[in-house]
């Protein structure tokens, strides 16, 4: 069993967005929406869609604009949960920078919230969660979680 399941449709959408931005040497980001479930006492996240909002991107940084959150809440239907976010590191690998960790702490503080990072140039994908075990103030306190891309039934 994996911690995160990414539906192929969401994966393809994010991939296309990241590749498009990478061709212009830009990072890109979007929200991951879906649901949180549990199986035999273990929680997992199902990502059903990737939703992009207005991006404020440069080659090495990308952040959410305040407007993006407002726009997004309008496009989400009832019962759909933002389970995390997904962004690209074109050419420099998958990890969470200290800025990414801060973003996670501020916008995605729930246990189930995930951060997916993709390097569209290397074709690398990784999913992360904040790690509660690390001492407070440590900016590197995140851990990799397992994820799988799944086809819709």
Give the interface with Zn ion as residue ranges (CB under 5 A).
97, 100
Q: 146: left (phi > 0), else alpha (psi -120 to 50), else beta?
A: beta
Q: How far is the CB of 100 from Zn ion (least distance, A)?
A: 4
Helices (H), the chain: 8-22, 66-75, 98-107
Q: How far is the CB of 7 from Zn ion (least distance, A)?
A: 23
Nearer to Zn ion, 37 or 122 (CB): 122
Nearer to Zn ion, 45 or 118 (CB): 118
What is the spatial distance between Cα 52 and Cα 17, in angstroms, rounded to a whole number?
8
Backbone angles phi, psi at 10, to 5 degrees: -70, -40
Nearer to Zn ion, 7 or 100 (CB): 100
Q: How far is the CB of 22 from Zn ion (least distance, A)?
A: 13
CA distances from 7 to 13, 63, 147 (A): 10, 24, 11
How far is residue 21 CA from its own chain's centroid?
16
Nearest residue to Zn ion on Cβ basis = 100
Q: How far is the CB of 103 from Zn ion (least distance, A)?
A: 8
Nearer to Zn ion, 21 or 44 (CB): 21
CA distances from 111 to 47, 94, 130 (A): 15, 21, 8
Nearer to Zn ion, 44 or 103 (CB): 103
């Amino acid at each position: 069993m994996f911690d995160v399941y990414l539906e192929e449709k969401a994966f393809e959408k994010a991939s296309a967005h990241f590749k498009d931005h990478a061709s212009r040497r830009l990072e890109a980001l979007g929200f991951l929406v879906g649901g949180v479930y549990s199986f035999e006492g273990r929680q997992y996240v199902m990502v059903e869609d990737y939703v992009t909002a207005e991006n404020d991107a440069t080659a090495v940084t990308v952040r959410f604009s305040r407007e993006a959150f407002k726009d997004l809440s309008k496009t989400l239907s009832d019962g759909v949960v933002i389970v995390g976010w997904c962004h690209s590191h074109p050419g420099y690998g998958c990890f969470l920078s200290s800025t990414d960790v801060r973003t996670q702490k501020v916008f995605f503080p729930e246990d189930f919230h995930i951060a997916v990072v993709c390097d569209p140039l290397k074709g690398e994908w990784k999913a992360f969660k904040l790690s509660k075990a690390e001492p407070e103030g440590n900016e590197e306190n995140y851990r990799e979680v397992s994820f799988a891309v799944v086809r819709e039934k």
